[in-house]
Amino acid sequence: MVKVLFVCLGNICRSPMAEAIFRDLVKKEGLEENFVIDSAGTGNWHVGKPPHRGTQEILQKHAIDFSGIRARQISEEDLRTFDYIIAMDMENLGNLRRLAGYNKVGFIGRLLDFVLDSDLTDVPDPYYTGNFEEVYELIQKGCRHLLETIKKEKGL
């Protein structure tokens, strides 16, 4: 079982979008039984809330299911449990690395690190920019590359 956790700041825009998109890609490839997919935030401001309206609208536009997704804060247990912990930007990557400290954890990296032909390294936060379409495109591309990487690494 491959466990993938997407992480952003508040867990209402980028990381739940990535969770929903990655679930959709995995389902389309018939690999659901091989994965546990979740998302979390480094902050606790939105715990228990559904994805941001902009995230919901863009996912609905692309017919991607986001049912059951609720904001939560990352825990130390997540760091021990998940194989791939995927941050949306450098700030959250730094927060994750500080939280992990010297403990042995799974892979921690940024989503766009998997997109070799991208000029961007961070997925911008649409909570501030309002550009949910751009964020959707970046996350979609990152998730496709992440899934291909995992399939190769795990022989799926």
Q: Is 89 an active-site residue?
A: no
Q: Where are the domains of the chain?
A: 2-154
In tens digits, the chain (156 residues) has pLDDT values of 999 999 999 999 999 999 999 999 999 999 999 999 999 999 999 999 999 999 999 999 999 999 999 999 999 999 999 999 999 999 999 999 999 887 778 899 999 999 988 889 999 999 988 999 999 999 999 999 999 999 999 999
How much is the pLDDT for 56?
Answer: 98
How much is the pLDDT for 53?
Answer: 97
CATH superfamily of this structure's domain 2-154: Response regulator (3.40.50.2300)
The three-point CA angle 99-72-45 to 5° equals 90
What is the phi/psi pair of residue 28, to 5°? -65, -25
**Cα distance between the two ends of the chain:** 11
What sign does the dihedral 49-108-151-116 (CA atoms) show? positive
How much is the pLDDT for 118?
Answer: 84
Q: Is 143 an active-site residue?
A: no
Among 63, 71, 62, residue whose Cα is nearest residue 127: 71
Annotated catalytic residue within 13, 14, 24, 38: 14
Q: At what angle do helices 14-28 and 132-154 cross, to 10 degrees?
A: 50
Annotated catalytic residue within 8, 23, 24, 38: 8
How much is the pLDDT for 129?
Answer: 87
pTM metric for this prediction: 0.96
Q: Is 97 an active-site residue?
A: no
Annotated catalytic residue within 38, 78, 89, 125: 125
Are 23 and 56 in contact by the 8 Å Cβ rule? The answer is: no
